[in-house]
């Protein structure tokens, strides 16, 4: 029932984007319709990936999730990069990570805690995720510190080499998922919603639609920031990641509400790790081809928010217990970060 | 016995402040007598709050402790803000937090460890406190990073909005205390030292006396820094928090000495959280009314000390064990921070 | 068998340094031969210390290890300081710490995990080491933040006072080792390889040889950086610590391979703590005597790498479990840091 309405709504919104574009509607309308369409399409993409994973078995399914899980976000940021919006692209990398660990994990802990009281989770799994998150945050931070202290002309080289290291770590991460007996913690079994061919077809159609709508969405960013005085940093850190991830976020919160904190943390922290290790290097590699090299140099505010998010998440994760107050505090830090980016 | 002497001494010192003021004694004498009187009055305030809490039951008692626990410090900083000493006020916010987590927790672990060997405590309670401390530190840091990178005219707005978020988190914190079955960990039961009316009266008298002496104390800060070349940062970070909190600190150390590390950590970390979530927003709200808006932008050294204190405390707390060497190291970091602030 | 070859090779290399110096061979050759000789001599020094420890009993042995464990590195940096290479000296302090916690611990966890699957270790011991590491990192960072924000003339005073505090903490650390029943975790018992007098003699001869070769090694640094354009920062952060510590590193990795993670972490984290608490203050004290006062002000990149290493290690350590992926990620962060320092 919900499924059918969601597919219908997504199709309507995608068609709406085409219509709005041809009617030359105001930028804000185009931006809003495209954003809503992307929310739906990201969800469809997730459904197609999951269905294909069902047919391919848990191992390949785990890898499919680990590669296509952030596909919508990757496509949006590629189009933004092609438009030369490097500030938005870099901001959305950071925003995606802090959104996952502050807002999504926070909302999960808050609602899960209000429903279930103090929630327990495996310190081992949470600890590995928190460690890996800290490691990728360190990897993202060091080139920036370098860029700030060495304002010379060649940091692009360093960015590409760092991206190579991160991509190698991503390959190792996939190997780890393949080698580990249980794959990544997958959702409760059930039936694949589509056949093998239908899943594959849906994946291609949804990807194409995401690409089309992303172009419209990204094209509206610059006029929007100019007309309404919203900073590119705010669009990148807050709006783009929410559009690209919200479907996944809702799932993470629902699972916490069902008191499966291990799986819920796996979604939010795993998605952050993926953005850092897969999306970021791909964007760095594609940059020169698209005529807009992407240097891994973030703003101080971005790095501070990232560092704060990582330390806070680590501390929340490493005691193996969570309560609703911790969730509310994580959301509070996200709101404070959003305020700071809004005024930037 | 000790109680009577302490009350007597506090009265004598408070009268002493009046005398010293009228005799126009040297600034250093006024500063010292007022500081000692405040130490005593903060202790009396704590006694009155606790006694009132006994009559009101554990839940209301927990809330009374959570609101009046840092009353002396709040009053001192309000007077400092009214005098326009914003540097001192901001420094004392940071100083109160790092004093609690480095000096008080350090001394507790050091003396507790020398007496009792390796001490254990609940990872769960310590973990929640450490998480919340990290979260409030993040909340305090982000507006500063913003202020440093956006040197425009409007950070006051951001400070007020951040203060609203922090105050909302404080209300949630109070709700959490009310909802949790055992309230905050309270001290061993025993009898209320005063009747209900006497407790209330003592609370009012002590508060009035703190206000009077605070004015004298704060008035002596500026001449003191000018005459003796002590930096305002040092006064704010080191001296003001010690004066406002030392009575509470002694209690925390005593409890660790009695091998109740859970309660001892609750006092030192809980007090830090309160300063961040209650004292700080109140000062931001009062600033414009007092003619001295308080911007939440701290110095790099203040933020570095805060960050170091939070990470160090988290690591000490999250393994569930402490030994005297860890305590000595925490005190050592405090001494190093104090040296850095002294030379500033 | 290995032992005899190692001693023979070390003697040959040490003689080689003398030969190369008198033949006025190219700088790169001298640097390479001296580096290899130092690797061997550091290993001999370790063997002599351990053998002497066998004769002196576990307590004194623990103290010998805690003082002579970084003797080779101390001697190299003293000669570098005497040459006025303060950049190299400070870089090698940071490099030694991050090398131990990222590269050595990373390689240990990677190889140990590939051999033994998920490895467990005592959260208590790892937690104390991680806490102490965070504390010494904080102690190293604060004077830098001070120096950056107060660019006045007197930071040397602060450096000396901070060094005094760190040295006092080191004395307490030795007392802790003496008081703790089991001493530091020592290697598997076995026989002392040399007699008491032979051990002592070997210690003196090896120390003298390290001093001689260090002078040649350090003398080659400046021409090397000028001829080949390698930054002093890279030499200090990456090359010097590897030369001074590699023998010890190999031991740490071997022990992890044998699935004794507690002892392996003790070596890598313990060595970092020693560099911070013993080597650093000694260099600060010796600076004025050698005519080159050493100010404890590190570069932003150095501090960022240190902070990242400490947080990452803490998170890896505090969950009590490690897997090969975490090890690979730690090594990846080291490679990224090395790249950043290389381009500096």
Query: What ipTM, to 2 d.p.?
Result: 0.81
Assess contact for C318 and A123: CB atoms under 8 A: no
Q: Judging by DSSP bridges, how do beta strands A321-322 and A119-120 pair with one another?
A: antiparallel
Most C CBs within 10 Å: which of A62, A127, A163, as the mutation test of the C interface? A127
Judging contacts by C-beta atoms under 8 Å, the chain A residues touching residue B295 are none
Say if residues A71 and A38 touch (Cβ distance below 8 Å): no
- Helix C196-228 vs helix C2-22: angle between axes, to the nearest 10 degrees? 50
- Whole-angstrom distance, CA of residue A38 vs CA of residue B243: 57
**Residue of A126, A142, A277 to mutate, testing the C interface (most C Cβ within 10 Å of its Cβ):** A142
> CB pairs below 8 Å between A and C: how many?
109
CB-facing half-sphere around the CA of B273: CA atoms within 13 A: 26
Chain A residues touching residue C323 (CB < 8 angstroms): 128, 176
Residues in chain C with pLDDT values less than 50: 183-188
Chains in contact with chain C (at least 3 beta-carbon pairs closer than 8 A): A, B
SS3 A115: helix
Chain B CB contacts of C170 under 8 Å are none
- What are the strands, taking DSSP E only, across A16-123? 119-120
Say if CB B161 and CB B271 are below 8 A apart.
Answer: no
Checking if the pLDDT of B154 tops 60, the result is no
Mean pLDDT of B115-138: 81
- Contact of B174 with chain A, judged by CB distance below 8 Å, is answered with no
Give the gap in angstroms from C-alpha A305 to the nearest C-alpha of chain B. 7
Q: Which residues of A touch C316 (CB under 8 A)?
A: 131
Annotate B262-315 with three-state secondary structure: HHHHHHHHHHHHHHHHHHHHHHHHHHHHCCCCCCCCCCHHHHHHHHHHHHHHHH
Burial class (CB in 10 A: 0-12, 13-18, 19+), B223: middle
Measured distance between the N- and C-terminal CA atoms of chain C, rounded to whole angstroms: 43
How far is it, in rounded angstroms, from Cα C8 to Cα C2? 10
How far apart (Å, rounded) are the C-alpha atoms in residues A162 and B288? 48
Average pLDDT for B199-221:
83
Mean pLDDT of chain B: 81
Chosen from A325, A338, A341, A344 to mutate, greatest number of chain B CBs within 10 A: A325
Please provide the size of chain B in residues. Answer: 344
Please check whether residue A134 touches C, CB under 8 A.
Answer: yes
A244 Cβ partners below 8 Å, 6+ apart? A38, A42, A70, A72, A73, A76, A92, A96
Length reported for chain A? 344
- Residues near A160 by beta carbon (within 8 Å), at least 6 away in sequence: A284, A285
Interface test with C, best of B123, B238, B324, B329 (most C CBs within 10 A): B329
Q: Pick from C305, C319, C329: which is nearest to A135 by CB?
A: C329
Give chain C positions within 8 Å (CB) of B329: 131-132, 135-136, 169
- Contact present, C244 and C73 (Cβ < 8 Å): yes
HSE-CB of B259 using CA atoms within 13 angstroms: 7
| CA–CA gap between residue C235 and residue C218 (Å, rounded) | 10
Residue in the structure block whose two tokens are 């600034």: B27
Distances (CA, A) of B180 to A68, A247, B261, B271, C248: 42, 33, 20, 18, 51
Closest residue of chain C to A130, computed from CA coordinates: C315
Judge contact between C213 and C17, C-beta under 8 A.
Answer: yes
Q: Which of C144, C302, C328, C329 to mutate to test the interface with A (most CBs of A within 10 A)?
A: C329
Cβ contact A176–C323 (<8 Å): yes
Q: What DSSP designation does A117 have?
A: S
Tell me if chain A has a CB within 8 Å of the CB of B42.
no
Rounded CA gap, B195 and C92, in Å? 65
What pLDDT score does A190 carry? 60
B183 pLDDT exceeds 50? no
Crossing angle between the packed helical segments A300-318 and A86-98, to the nearest 10 degrees? 20
CB contact under 8 A, A132 and C329: yes
Contacts of C308 (CB under 8 A, 6+ apart): A134, A137, A138, A141, A142, C333, C337
Instruction: Flag whether residue B19 sits within 8 Å of chain C, measured between CB atoms.
Output: no
Beta-bridged to residue B322, according to DSSP, are B119
Query: Touching check for B134 and chain C: CB below 8 Å?
Result: no
Q: How far is CA C323 from CA B8, C94, C105, C261, in A?
A: 62, 26, 12, 11
Q: Do A319 and B142 touch (CB under 8 A)?
A: no
What per-residue confidence (pLDDT) applies to A191?
A: 65
Helix (H, G, I), strand (E, B) or coil at A90: helix
> Do C132 and B326 lie within an 8 Å CB cutoff?
yes
Residue A185's pLDDT is 47
Dihedral Cα A260, A263, B311, C241, nearest 10 deg:
150
Q: What is the pLDDT of residue C87?
A: 85
Tell me which of C238, C343, C344 to substitute to probe the interface with A (most A C-beta atoms closer than 10 Å): C343
3-state SS class at A120:
strand
Q: How many CB atoms lie within 10 A of CB A171?
A: 11
User: Residues of C312-329 as b/e, b for ≥16 C-beta within 10 angstroms?
Assistant: bbbbbbbbbbbbbbbbbb
Write the residue in A145, A154, A166 that is nearest to C301 by C-beta.
A145
| B158–A340 C-beta distance less than 8 A | yes
| Residues of C with Cβ-Cβ distance to A138 under 8 angstroms | 308-309, 311-312, 333, 336
Supply the pLDDT for residue A184.
46
Q: Which two tokens stand for residue A251?
A: 């799932």
The DSSP H or E segment spanning C321 is strand C321-322
Residue A185 and residue A100: Cα distance in Å, rounded? 18
Classify each residue of A113-124 as buried b or exposed e, where b means 16 or more C-beta atoms within 10 Å of its C-beta: beebeebebbbb
Q: Is C295 within 8 Å of C155 (Cβ atoms)?
A: yes
Residues β-bridged to residue B119: B322
Placement of tokens 């003339």 in the chain: C153
The burial class, CB within 10 Å (0-12 / 13-18 / 19+), for A231 is middle
CB within 8 Å: A169 and C343: no
Instruction: Answer whether C201 touches B (CB < 8 Å).
Output: no
Structure tokens at C178: 């003496």
Nearest to B304 among C134, C141, C310 (CB): C141
Query: Can you say whether the dihedral through the CA atoms of C119, C123, C126, C127 is positive or negative?
Result: positive
The SS3 assignment for B136 reads: helix
Question: What is d(CA C261, CA C324) in angstroms, rounded to the nearest whole number?
Answer: 13
Asked if residues A167 and A281 have their Cβ atoms less than 8 Å apart, the reply is: yes
* Beta-carbon contacts of residue C151 (< 8 Å; ≥ 6 apart): none
Backbone φ and ψ for B119, nearest 5 degrees, come out as: -105, 140
Is A114 an interface residue toward B (CB < 8 Å)? no
Helices (H), A123-234: 123-149, 155-179, 196-228, 232-234
pLDDT digits (tens, 9 = 90+) for B260-312: 887 788 778 888 888 888 889 999 999 888 888 888 888 888 888 888 888 88
How far is residue A146's CA from residue A137's CA, in Å, rounded to a whole number? 15
d(CA A69, CA A42): 9
Nearest to A41 by CA among A15, A18, A11: A11
Q: Does residue A120 contact residue A264 with C-beta atoms inside 8 Å?
A: no
- Three-state DSSP state, C284: helix
| Nearest beta carbon to residue C299 from set A149, A162, A311 | A149
Q: Which residues of chain A fall short of a pLDDT of 70?
A: 1, 58-59, 62, 65-66, 150-156, 180-192
Q: What is the pLDDT of residues B6-36, one digit of tens each?
A: 788 888 888 887 887 788 778 888 888 888 8
Q: Lowest mean pLDDT: which of B63-67, B158-162, C244-248? A: B63-67
Percent of chain B at pLDDT exceeding 70: 92
- Cα atoms in the 13 Å half-sphere on the side-chain side of C248: 34
For residues B95-110, give the mean pLDDT: 88
C-alpha A262/C-alpha A256 separation (Å) is 8
| CA–CA dist A3, C219 (Å, integer) | 73
Q: Which residue of B has its CA nearest to C273?
A: B329
Highest mean pLDDT among A213-217, B56-60, B152-156: A213-217
pLDDT at residue number A249: 78
Q: Which token pair is B258?
A: 């009695």
- Looking at C180-279, list the stretches that DSSP marks H as alpha helix, in order from N- to C-terminal side: 196-228, 232-234, 240-257, 261-274
* Residue A153 CB contacts under 8 Å (≥ 6 apart), including other chains: none
Partners of A344 on chain B (C-beta within 8 Å) are 146, 149-150
Are A333 and B146 in contact (CB < 8 Å)? no
Tell me if the pTM is above 0.90.
no
What does residue A122 show for φ and ψ, rounded to 5 degrees? -70, 115
Taking CA atoms, what residue in B is nearest to A303? B145
Interatomic CA distance for residues C48 and C202, integer angstroms: 6
CB-nearest to C311 from A132, A143, A311 is A311
Query: Which of C135, C176, C318 is closest, CB to CB, to B330?
Result: C135
C99 vs C248: CA distance, rounded Å: 12
User: Is the CB of C334 inside 8 Å of chain A's CB atoms?
Assistant: no
Contacts of A305 in chain B (CB under 8 A): 142
Quick check: A338 contacting B, CB < 8 Å? no
Q: How large is the average pLDDT for residues B77-98?
A: 87
Cα distance from A297 to chain C (closest Cα, Å)? 12
Task: Report residue C228 as tokens.
Answer: 């080949």
């Amino acid at each position: 029932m919900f499924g059918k309405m969601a597919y219908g709504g997504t199709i309507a919104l995608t068609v709406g984007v085409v219509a709005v574009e041809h009617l030359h509607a105001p930028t804000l309308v185009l931006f809003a319709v495209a954003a809503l369409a992307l929310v739906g399409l990201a969800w469809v993409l997730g459904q197609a990936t999951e269905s294909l994973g069902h047919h391919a078995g848990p191992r390949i399914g785990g890898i499919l999730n680990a590669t296509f899980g952030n596909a919508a976000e990757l496509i949006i940021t590629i189009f933004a990069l092609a438009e030369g919006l490097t500030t938005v692209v870099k901001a959305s990398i950071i925003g995606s990570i802090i959104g996952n660990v502050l807002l999504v994990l926070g909302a999960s802990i808050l609602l899960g805690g209000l429903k279930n009281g103090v929630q327990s989770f495996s310190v081992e799994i949470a600890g590995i995720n928190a460690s890996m998150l800290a490691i990728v945050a360190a990897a993202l931070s060091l080139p920036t510190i370098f860029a700030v202290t060495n304002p010379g002309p060649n940091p692009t080289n360093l960015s590409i080499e760092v991206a190579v290291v991160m991509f190698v770590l991503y390959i190792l991460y996939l190997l780890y998922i393949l080698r580990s007996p249980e794959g990544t913690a997958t959702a409760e079994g059930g039936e694949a919603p589509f056949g093998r061919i239908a899943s594959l077809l849906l994946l291609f159609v949804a990807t194409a639609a995401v690409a089309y709508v992303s172009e419209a969405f990204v094209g509206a960013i610059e006029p929007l920031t100019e007309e309404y005085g919203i900073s590119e940093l705010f669009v990148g850190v807050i709006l783009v990641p929410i559009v690209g991830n919200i479907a996944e976020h809702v799932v993470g919160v629902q699972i916490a509400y069902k008191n499966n904190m291990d799986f819920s943390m796996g979604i939010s922290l795993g998605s952050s790790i993926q953005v850092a290790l897969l999306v970021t290097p791909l964007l760095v590699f594609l940059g020169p081809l698209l005529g807009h090299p992407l240097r891994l140099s973030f703003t101080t505010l971005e790095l501070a928010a990232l560092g704060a998010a990582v330390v806070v998440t680590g501390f929340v994760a490493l005691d193996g217990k969570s309560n609703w107050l911790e969730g509310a505090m994580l959301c509070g830090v996200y709101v404070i970060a959003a305020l700071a980016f809004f005024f930037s």
